[in-house]
Chain A
Amino acid sequence: ETGVTQTPRHLVMGMTNKKSLKCEQHLGHNAMYWYKQSAKKPLELMFVYSLEERVENNSVPSRFSPECPNSSHLFLHLHTLQPEDSALYLCASSQDWRGDTGELFFGEGSRLTVL
């Protein structure tokens, strides 16, 4: 496995369900990110982790809960979502979260549909 891997690729859930998105990076990077991509909108940064420590929470609703158990894995736990949360959720990593070592590498995304 190389790069950034996300699972599942597609997820359909009801508003009362609890599910999780998983991201794994095989690049030896120290920083990992969750982004949300909605149609006709720029990517929105949700969370940034550096060496398992959260460095940014971009005013994301509490129904999204991130977890970073180590520098290679990142989860996004979902509960009681709304239909407007339907989007493509992208995980990214970079060598570091500052400076010129911050080139972003993205996974293929998890397409989430909330019914």
Chain B
Amino acid sequence: KQEVTQIPAALSVPEGENLVLNCSFTDSAIYNLQWFRQDPGKGLTSLLLIQSSQREQTSGRLNASLDKSSGRSTLYIAASQPGDSATYLCAGSNSGGYQKVTFGIGTKLQVIP
């Protein structure tokens, strides 16, 4: 059974810092991977999708990469801002079917002004 670990569970940084969030899968055969943010009491907002033929995706200050040999993904946030404070979740699929998506519990990020 696929399991996802996100490290760290929580992170507090001063504004302006660059930071890295980590996600690892027990089964490294990841077909594609998605990163989300979730604000308290709200739904998930899609940040980046790394498709099956890709290894990396970038959007603004965010960069996500996936190492399929190890089943690890990182989300890099540059020049963090207080508005980045949220919980960040990764989710991966082991096949092309979305019934097989496994989610992590998330990393709770606090950016201090």
Contacts and interface: CB of A to CB of B under 8 A. Distances in A.
Given A42-B103, A97-B98, A104-B34, 9 more contacts: A45-B101, A58-B99, A94-B98, A97-B97, A97-B99, A102-B97, A106-B46, A107-B43, A108-B43
A48 B99 contact: yes
Interface of A: 4, 6, 31, 33, 40-43, 45, 48, 55-56, 58, 88, 90, 92, 94, 97-100, 102-109, 111
B46 A103 contact: yes
Contacts of A98: 96-98
B45 interface: yes
Contacts of A111: 41
Chain B: number of interface residues, binned into ranges: 20 to 34
A109 B97 contact: no
Chain B's interface: helix, strand, loop or mixed, by majority?
A: strand
Contacts of A105: 46
Interface of B: 4, 32, 34, 36, 41-46, 49, 51-53, 89, 91, 93, 96-99, 101-105
Contacts of B105: 40-42
Given A42-B104, A106-B44, A111-B41, A33 B98 contact: yes
B98 A90 contact: no
A31 B43 contact: no
